[in-house]
Structure 1
């Protein structure tokens, strides 16, 4: 689907199917569309309201383009929104520590603060953690202490095209 068609669809209040939203996400991640088009798409999607199908299509594309960790057993990710705008404290990281102490394996995605005061990466750096670990190092951490942190810019390198737009927009988007 062409980005202009996708934006037009959203502006008219109609939803994209899973395949179309996945295709737009692929174009964003491959840097095939401009920052203005990415911002327009994200804003139109936010105004219309994201459907489960649109989120699923975009999530599938993000997962297909992410680095992965491989650990035996079930994993939990306590990723926060990174942009709730409420000025709340970072409860997702605190919850991850509590769960890990209760013998639950945590593979936590996180980043620096988007709209709040302290993102997961900021908090972990403040307590002396190395946040820039490779997938194999994260796997070792999970296996030894039930907690591993996956710094979003490293584990989602294709998001480099969307990250500046997301920062400049300064509003909650589908990425939150």
Structure 2
């Protein structure tokens, strides 16, 4: 019997997976002792049957056990979105990281290559001839010396990389489409601004960030579906503050901006 069969059966009977289950699943994936079809089924069932605050938090923690991580309680922030909104907009979070760093805010920017946009953080940096740190030591040195470092997700998370081809061949969105920003390598990260494209998990994501120990966090989504604070529509925000979760909406006009058309914020290739 395939090692994953037990967990597939458990979810097919509408049982949520627990931390011990995710621990074993991650071990199986990292040992490469699996059938591709069963992993594909597992990803779909986790997405459909086993997504709540406890299960998603447990999955994140288990993945991080196989990641390159560090623990730094100093004041720093991550700005990262799920991607996947399909708008192919300009790269907002990378630009924002440079602006924040110039203002004296320490930014440990977790990022990857493009998902739905024309260029992801790593693509933009390469086009600017900025080398992404390829060791944890160099990333931390850059962060401490310059107040800004870009943490290329595939380098830090080999388990996620192991599933890359399967996810690509599967061709549908799975839990991994919202997991990325939750997997910051700093296990003691206190501040985070996260964009989310997927309305059904909007509140779930802020609950997971709370569970992971964030002190203050925002999960934002444009009502138009952008994984950003939209310049084209109102945006819904879940804010974690002092252990409480607040819910509210904002619109561009509140900040003196005129609403734009999506065609005005389409990005092009970074190259």
TM-score bracket, normalised by the shorter chain, equals 0.7 to 0.9
SS of 1:79's partner is strand
For 1:92, the equivalent position in structure 2 comes to: 93
Which consecutive residues of structure 1, in runs of 5 or more, have no partner in the other structure?
none
CA contact (8 A) 1:112 1:122 kept: yes
Which consecutive residues of structure 2, in runs of 5 or more, have no partner in the other structure?
178-271
Task: Give every structure 1 segment of 4 or more consecutive aligned residues whose post-TM-superposition deviation is greater than 3 Å.
Answer: 69-72, 84-89
What is the alpha-carbon distance in structure 2 between the residues aligned to residue 18 and residue 70 of structure 1? 22
For 2:6, the equivalent position in structure 1 comes to: 5
What is the alpha-carbon distance in structure 2 between the residues aligned to residue 11 and residue 98 of structure 1? 47
For 2:105, the equivalent position in structure 1 comes to: 104
CA contact (8 A) 1:107 1:148 kept: yes
Q: Offset of 1:7 from its aligned partner?
A: 1.7
Of stretches 112-121 and 133-142 in structure 1, the one that deviates more from structure 2 is 112-121
What is the alpha-carbon distance in structure 2 between the residues aligned to residue 87 and residue 13 of structure 1? 36
Matched residue count: 175
| Structure with bigger RCO (C-alpha 8 Å, 6+ apart) | 1
Is the radius of gyration larger for structure 1 or structure 2? 2
For 2:52, the equivalent position in structure 1 comes to: 51
CA contact (8 A) 2:67 2:157 kept: yes
More helix by proportion, 1 or 2? 1
What is the alpha-carbon distance in structure 1 between the residues aligned to residue 87 and residue 14 of structure 2? 27
Q: Which deviations, in whole Å up to 9, do the C-alpha atoms of 1:60-109 show, x marking residues without a partner?
A: 12211111346561332223214334434332222322322232222222
Structural mapping, 1:161-172, within 5 Å: 161-172=162-173
Superposition RMSD on alpha carbons, in Å?
Answer: 2.3
CA contact (8 A) 1:82 1:111 kept: no
SS of 2:124's partner is helix
What is the alpha-carbon distance in structure 2 between the residues aligned to residue 94 and residue 41 of structure 1? 36
For 1:127, the equivalent position in structure 2 comes to: 128
CA contact (8 A) 1:124 1:131 kept: yes
For 2:33, the equivalent position in structure 1 comes to: 32
SS of 2:48's partner is helix
What is the alpha-carbon distance in structure 1 between the residues aligned to residue 172 and residue 86 of structure 2? 8
What is the alpha-carbon distance in structure 2 between the residues aligned to residue 88 and residue 14 of structure 1? 39
What is the alpha-carbon distance in structure 2 between the residues aligned to residue 17 and residue 6 of structure 1? 10
What is the alpha-carbon distance in structure 1 between the residues aligned to residue 140 and residue 45 of structure 2? 38
Structure 2 residue 42 is matched with structure 1 residue 41:
yes
SS of 1:77's partner is strand
